[in-house]
Homo-oligomer: A and B are copies of this chain.
């Protein structure tokens, strides 16, 4: 029987992707949608400016949107997917957790909190048990799990696959799609025939979230990984798909061939989730791949693509790509929902 789920912030870009992914999902049933107060009370069809390239699912279109408030969500909903603006998330997610809801959140608030698991199931599924610490700390019946930023998700799985060679220094430059900023985030006047360097606080997110994701959880505390990461983030005129240039220096010598082997054969024994593609990482021989438009939908938008593997002046050099609103946001939250289900948190 499907778990009844709700979506907090259902009208935004990630909210629409969540509906697109959850509507046909066999384990979950969309039972509640929330948005800002100005949308509450309207049908979803009226409230949302639907912009995903498949039609609104008919049953969802007719659902009434509620306020983003624990009192407005039916009690028989077990799991909430959250794609709220971070300031709103910071204010209301704890209230939902206190009211007993399990929240799989894409919002950036609280990602770096000591007792909040930040999880990519194929990378650090074991961090989920940090929820025990969280419940002890906070006295919650519910729980709060986060997925990282879209640009973090794109390159961290490649580091996980290469961790065996001893990660030391990482430089990463990103070429990010406009959808990462939400539907209204980047105006056409800003980005046509242009590129914008230094995206807000994005660079810091890549640098800190990656160390937490790759860190070691001993059942009580999470020790961050000691890899050093520096990021430079750029917005470019692309709709979907973040492309990233990575330089990696490792303790052991790492050839492009060995890296390709480790990446394409990367597996993670304990996790077998519906939305996790096999293989997780596609390795291209063509040096000019991956490209956002051609490769972002691999593995239904949940795969990571890697190409351009070569020996660099400093260690190894390669490029990676993921679909930022699927693998990097909505799909990441759904995957964490599947992990919560498999681990008995629902």
Q: Taking the nearest CB of chain B, how far is it from the CB of A11, in angstroms?
A: 14
A64 at the binding interface (Cβ < 8 Å): no
CB of B198 within 8 A of CB of A189, answer no
A83 at the binding interface (Cβ < 8 Å): no
CB of B297 within 8 A of CB of A53, answer yes
A197 at the binding interface (Cβ < 8 Å): yes
The 0/1 profile, CB within 8 Å of B marked 1, for residues 236-263 of chain A is 1111000101010000000000000000
A9 at the binding interface (Cβ < 8 Å): no
Residue of B nearest to A234 (CB): B175
How long is the Cα–Cα vector from A13 to B308 in the complex, in angstroms? 26
CB of B238 within 8 A of CB of A194, answer yes
A-B contact pairs, 28 of them (CB 8 A): A13-B189, A53-B293, A169-B314, A171-B171, A171-B314, A175-B234, A183-B187, A186-B187, A186-B188, A187-B188, A188-B192, A188-B237, A192-B239, A193-B193, A193-B237, A193-B239, A194-B291, A194-B293, A194-B294, A197-B287, A197-B288, A197-B290, A198-B307, A198-B308, A228-B313, A232-B245, A232-B319, A236-B238
Provided the pairs A179-B189, A237-B237 are in contact, do residues A314 and B195 lie with their beta carbons within 8 angstroms?
A: no
A93 at the binding interface (Cβ < 8 Å): no
A338 at the binding interface (Cβ < 8 Å): no
How long is the Cα–Cα vector from A189 to B17 in the complex, in angstroms? 14
Q: Taking the nearest CB of chain B, how far is it from the CB of A272, in angstroms?
A: 24
A214 at the binding interface (Cβ < 8 Å): no
List residues of chain A with CB under 8 Å of any chain B CB: 13, 51, 53, 169, 171, 173, 175, 178-179, 183-198, 207, 228-230, 232, 234, 236-239, 243, 245, 247, 287-294, 297, 307-308, 312-314, 317, 319
Q: Taking the nearest CB of chain B, how far is it from the CB of A179, in angstroms?
A: 6
Most B CB atoms within 10 A — which of A183, A188, A191, A234?
A188
Task: Contacts A188-B191, A228-B313 known; list 15 others, CB within 8 Å.
Answer: A13-B189, A53-B293, A171-B247, A173-B173, A188-B188, A188-B237, A192-B239, A193-B237, A194-B238, A197-B290, A198-B288, A207-B313, A228-B314, A230-B314, A234-B245
Determine which of B234, B290, B292 lies in contact with A243 in the assembled complex, contact meaning CB atoms within 8 Å. B234
Q: Which residues of B contact A196 (CB under 8 A)?
A: 288, 291
Q: Which residues of B contact A288 (CB under 8 A)?
A: 196-198
Q: Taking the nearest CB of chain B, how far is it from the CB of A20, in angstroms?
A: 13
Q: Which residues of B contact A189 (CB under 8 A)?
A: 13, 51, 178-179, 183-184, 186, 239
Q: Which residues of B contact A193 (CB under 8 A)?
A: 192-193, 237-239, 292-293
How long is the Cα–Cα vector from A308 to B196 in the complex, in angstroms? 11
Q: Which residues of B contact A239 (CB under 8 A)?
A: 189, 192-193
CB of B234 within 8 A of CB of A317, answer no
How long is the Cα–Cα vector from A171 to B308 in the complex, in angstroms? 16
Residue of B nearest to A184 (CB): B187
How long is the Cα–Cα vector from A207 to B183 in the complex, in angstroms? 32
Provided the pairs A196-B291, A297-B53 are in contact, do residues A229 and B175 lie with their beta carbons within 8 angstroms?
A: no
Q: Taking the nearest CB of chain B, how far is it from the CB of A84, in angstroms?
A: 19
Q: Which residues of B contact A313 (CB under 8 A)?
A: 207, 228-230
Q: Which residues of B contact A207 (CB under 8 A)?
A: 313
Q: Taking the nearest CB of chain B, how far is it from the CB of A244, in angstroms?
A: 9
Q: Taking the nearest CB of chain B, how far is it from the CB of A54, in angstroms?
A: 8
